[in-house]
Structure 1
């Protein structure tokens, strides 16, 4: 058996972003005073998504500086923490199934627990 997985998460495969890779991206805006709690929750939540949603292969959470030029964030000032989650999805069909059958419930659960979120979503497909 190969030991190519990282020591931090031996059961989580690493997926490269090669041509054709399908990424479901979720962008989040969280009040700075709640960011640490949210990030701790998000670490567990994203791994659970990969374990429980068919076709979700891996996830990565990024912290980013304030995204300039995005109108929907331009009035938030500097009191937010910005996060981006990338889920690598096995196929367009798996993504469609998630969007049709799970996404509304997931969004509602996040909204109920963290009623302060500003969220945007998009799908990316690696070209090169």
Structure 2
């Protein structure tokens, strides 16, 4: 992803968290930008990882799993890919597999251009 795209998606993501009134619209715009990028670069692991975070935070965990599994299948070494997979799994029927992904994420470094999904372990 270009630095400008990373900056804009990050700005939208932060806006969603800072202002509840912007939550839905900011996530929708971030998703749209990521999907547009993936139309031209479908194997972009950073975009797939960030899309997974956006979808999870929008409550669309099953869709997030699709994007994140693609990033994993492309050989992602980004901690956020595996962390986001675990978050999505915790919110689907695949909950039992999440721990291994959280553990794998802890062994890796997060990419500078990716987002991390929100997760509250006390809520589960």
Q: Give me the TM-score of the superposition, normalised by structure 1.
A: 0.28
- Compare CA radii of gyration and give the structure with the larger one: 1
Indicate the structure with greater helix content: 2
Flag the structure with higher strand content.
1
Query: Which fold has the larger relative contact order, with Cα–Cα distance below 8 Å and residues 6 or more apart in sequence?
Result: 1
